[in-house]
Structure 1
C-alpha cells in the first residue's frame, strides 16, 4: 500500500534542509503527524551561509511563479523579506541588455530582491514555527531502511557528525530525498536491488564568478538590476548580472558556458566586465567599493534522473529538487522548480490515496518541472560543445532557436524609444521564462503570426526561411516541438 493511504501518515522524514527540503516539510506538515528534517549542516545562524550550499554565495532569485507559491505557503512572505532588509522593487528600474538592444523596465507593483541566504532564512523561520516539524542538524543519512521484500522504505539510518562511529535508525511512513545534487539515492536504490534508468544529461560546462560591492550613496535608490546577456551570434559566452540585495550590497556575477569559465581573480574579473556586450556593469562599479574577492562555482553537467521510468519503485519514498534534476542555474530556475515540486506533492497528498501514490507523484513532479529543464537545456544547446544525451530527444531545435530569437527581438523593441507602449502579446515570453505559463502558450502558430506581422528584420527572415524548409504546416511542427511533459 502507498504511504498516502489511511493509517500511514504518522511520520515523514525529509533528507536535506535546503530550500527544497524546507518547502517539502511545510507541505508534509499538513498531512503527517510528525515531520523530521535531517540536515548534514549545523544549525545555521542568521546571515551565515551553510557549508552544504556552496552556491549560496552566488545569485539567486525566486521567479514570479515561485514567489506566488511562497505567498500561498507562507502568507506575508514578501513582508518578511522586506523587514529583514530585502530591496523593494516598487520604484525600481530594471535594465536588461541583449544583442537586440536595451530594455528599461519598471519594477513590479510589489516584489523584492534578496540573497539566497535571506530567502532561506525567512523560509526556515516559518517552518521552524510549525509545531509538528522538527529539525535534526549535523546528521548525515547513510542508508535507507526497507522491509524484508524491499518493496517499502521504512526509514533511514544516519550518523551525527560529532559521533560518526555511531549510527541511528529512524522509522518513517514516508522518506523524501531533498538532499540536492549530492544525493546518494542512486546508490541506495542499487543496494536495495533496484535498477535505475540512465540519466538525462546536458553537458553545459557552466561557470560563475561572483563578487560583492557596497552600493555608492548616489546610487542607493537608482540601480536595482543590470542584466547583460551573452551573444551566441558573436561567439561571446560571457554574461553579467548586477543585482541589488540586502545590506546596501550589489551582487555582481560573471557567467560562462561551454567550459569557458569566467576569471576568479580580481584583475581578471574587472577585465571580464569590460568584455561583455555592454559596458554598463563596469561603468556602474567605477565608484563602488569591493566587499569580497571574486569567488567561482562550476557545474560541468546538468542531470535529470528518470526514476518515474523504473519498473519497480519502493513505496514510502519520494525525491525532488536537485536530487531529481539540476537545471542550468544561469536562468535562475532552481528554487522555483523546488517550489513547484513541493506544491505538486501537496496536491498529490490531497487528491491521491492509493497503492501507487509514490509512482504517480514522481510522474507528476517530472511533468511539472519539465518546462524549466526544456527551456534551459534548449538555450544551452546554442553553444559549441554543449550536448544533450539520454531522455527524449528535443525536437526541431534549430527552429525553436530562431523562434525565440524573434520573440526576444520583438519583446526588446517594446521597451525602446520614447513613449513605447509594450504589447502584452510579446510579453508572454517573460511569463514563460518566469514559469508562469507553459511553453505552448508562447510557441504556437497564432503567436508566430503575431511575431512575424510587420517584421522585416534578420531574425524574422531567418524563421521565414526555416518555415519554408518544412513540408508540413508550421503550426503542426511547433506543436510537435513543444513539450507536453517529461
Structure 2
C-alpha cells in the first residue's frame, strides 16, 4: 500500500483589499490553504477602510477589469445590484475640449466600498481561504541562504513585543503603495533595480451628494476632462452609486490641488471647461464635506529585472506599480495582474517549477505596461511633470498629437450620431484603448490614420505635415510601427479591424 501523503500547499497574501482578494481567488484553484492577512478590523458592512485612505474617493473598474471580475466571480454585478448599486439605463455624458459625447451604456455603478464588500463575501465563502484581521507583517522569514521566502513575522496592530511566525510555500505582497517590500528586500541583501517614477503632484477632492427626487436614475455619469491647450488642469466626474447618491470628484495635476473646503469645492465646479456638473448639482443636498487625496509621485517597480529574486515571493497591485488614480486604472490593473498570475499557475499544475516567480513577475509587468504607458504619456502634457527610469519614454510630442486627433474625431463621430444616427465603430478604438480592451496599436496604425484623415480631406496635407514633422514622411507605416512599444500583452479582440491602406500625402 502506498503510504505517500500529499503535502498541503499553503499560500499567504498580505493585504485584504481589491488586489489581495483577487489574488486569494486565483490562488484558491491551486493551493490547499490560503491565508489573507489584513491590517484593518474585519468589516461589518460596506464602508471605506482606514487602511485604504483613497477608498473614500470615487472608484470604478474599467470595462476590461469588469470582464475579468465576471470570469473570477460570475454574477458579481447581480450581487452589487442586490445591495443597491446603480443600474445604468441612460446614456453617459463625456465632455472634452472638442465637444460632448453622449454614449449609450449598460452595466452597474457602485462605490469602492460596495465592490470590495461583494468580492470579500465571495472570497470568504471559498473553503480553502481564511482571513486574519487586525494584523500587520513586520518582516519576511527566509531560508538559511536567503534564496527563498518561507514565511512572515506578524503582530497584532498596536502590539510591539509579541510576534508570531507564519510559514507558507508562497508569499504574495498585495499591501498597497505603502508596502515595505523594498526595505525588506534591501535588508536581506538584495540589490533593487531603478524604479520608474512619474513626478506629477496629483490631487483630487471628493464630495457626496443626495440626488434630488426629480433626478434619480437620470444622471449615471458625467465626465469633464481638463484642457491642456489652455492650461486648465481641472477635471471633474459625477457618478451615481448606491443609495441615490452622487459621488463627485475634482482632480488636478502639477500641484494645482482642488479645494477641500465646501465653498472652494463648489467654486471649483464652476471652473471646469463645462458647467454640466455644477448645473446638475444645483438642487442636490451635500452629504459630506469634501475630502482630499494627494499623490506626489507614481512608481513602477521593476522587480522582474533583479539579478536575483527570492523563490516563494510575488508582488502585485499598488505594491508593484502605483498609477495616477485619475484615470481609474488601479483596480482594473490589479484584475489584469491576477489574470496573468492565473495563467502562469495554470501552466504549472502542481508545485511551481524553479523560476516560476520570475516568469510571473515578467508576465504581470508586460500586462501593466500599456496602462502605465498611456497614463504617463497623458500626465506628461503638463509643465512640471517629469518621468525618470531605466528607459526614457520616446516620441511623446508625436503621440500627444496623434491621440488629440483620435479624440477629436471620436467626439465628432458621437456628435454626428446624435444628428444622423450614423456611427463608424472603428472610432471607438480610442476609447477601447483607454478602457484597456484594445492595444494602442489598434489606434496607431495606417488604416486608422487614413480614417482620421478621410474625415477632413481638405486638411489632410496640413495634418500630416504637422504630425510627421521630423519623421520620414515617405515611410509612414514604419514610423507608426516605431512610435508604439511592442506590447507583450493579450487583448480581447473587441475592436473591428480592417486591412491597412497606404496613407496618401498631398
TM-score tier, shorter chain, comes to over 0.9
SS in 2 for 1:186: helix
CA distance in 2, matches of 1:460, 1:70: 45
Q: Deviations 1:398-427 (Å, cap 9, x if unpaired)?
A: 010000001001110111142242211110
SS in 1 for 2:401: helix
Report the counterpart of residue 136 of structure 1 in structure 2.
Answer: 132
Give the 3 Å change call, closer, same or farther, for CA 294–457 of structure 1 in structure 2. farther
Displacement of 1:458:
8.0
Give the 3 Å change call, closer, same or farther, for CA 459–327 of structure 1 in structure 2. farther
Displacement of 1:434:
0.8
Alignment of 1:410-449 (within 5 A): 410-416=409-415, 417-449=418-450
Q: Does the 8 Å CA contact 2:453/2:460 hold for their aligned counterparts?
A: no
Report the counterpart of residue 160 of structure 1 in structure 2.
Answer: 156
CA distance in 1, matches of 2:353, 2:242: 46
CA distance in 2, matches of 1:370, 1:403: 19
CA distance in 1, matches of 2:75, 2:142: 40
SS in 2 for 1:211: strand
Unaligned runs of 5+ in 2: 1-5, 489-506
Q: Does the 8 Å CA contact 1:399/1:463 hold for their aligned counterparts?
A: no
Equivalent pairs, count: 478
Alignment of 1:283-294 (within 5 A): 283-294=279-290
1:409 aligns with 2:405: no
Displacement of 1:456:
5.8
Q: Does the 8 Å CA contact 2:47/2:114 hold for their aligned counterparts?
A: no
Q: Does the 8 Å CA contact 1:9/1:31 hold for their aligned counterparts?
A: no
CA distance in 2, matches of 1:210, 1:464: 43
SS in 2 for 1:469: coil
Displacement of 1:442:
1.3
Q: Deviations 1:138-160 (Å, cap 9, x if unpaired)?
A: 11001011001011000000101
Report the counterpart of residue 478 of structure 1 in structure 2.
Answer: 480
CA distance in 2, matches of 1:274, 1:122: 36
CA distance in 1, matches of 2:226, 2:191: 40
1:214 aligns with 2:185: no
TM-score, with structure 2 as normaliser: 0.92
Report the counterpart of residue 72 of structure 1 in structure 2.
Answer: 71
Q: Deviations 1:325-374 (Å, cap 9, x if unpaired)?
A: 01111110000000000011111011134211000110000001110000
Residue in structure 1 matching 2:91, options 68, 90, 93:
93
Give the 3 Å change call, closer, same or farther, for CA 461–218 of structure 1 in structure 2. farther
* Pairwise CA RMSD: 1.6
Give the 3 Å change call, closer, same or farther, for CA 128–459 of structure 1 in structure 2. farther
SS in 1 for 2:172: strand
Q: Does the 8 Å CA contact 2:138/2:155 hold for their aligned counterparts?
A: yes
Residue in structure 2 matching 1:246, options 224, 231, 242:
242
CA distance in 1, matches of 2:212, 2:268: 21
SS in 1 for 2:267: helix
Q: Does the 8 Å CA contact 1:158/1:168 hold for their aligned counterparts?
A: yes
SS in 1 for 2:455: coil
Q: Does the 8 Å CA contact 1:9/1:173 hold for their aligned counterparts?
A: no
Report the counterpart of residue 11 of structure 1 in structure 2.
Answer: 10
Displacement of 1:460:
8.7
TM-score, with structure 1 as normaliser: 0.96
SS in 2 for 1:399: helix
Runs of 4+ in 1 over 6 A off after TM superposition: 457-460
Displacement of 1:48:
2.2
CA distance in 2, matches of 1:338, 1:73: 13
Q: Deviations 1:192-224 (Å, cap 9, x if unpaired)?
A: 110001110011111001100000011102111
Q: Does the 8 Å CA contact 1:238/1:276 hold for their aligned counterparts?
A: yes
CA distance in 2, matches of 1:421, 1:296: 42
Alignment of 1:55-70 (within 5 A): 55-70=54-69
SS in 2 for 1:223: coil
Q: Does the 8 Å CA contact 1:402/1:463 hold for their aligned counterparts?
A: no
CA distance in 2, matches of 1:437, 1:8: 42
SS in 2 for 1:301: strand
Unaligned runs of 5+ in 1: 1-6
1:117 aligns with 2:113: yes
Displacement of 1:483:
2.1
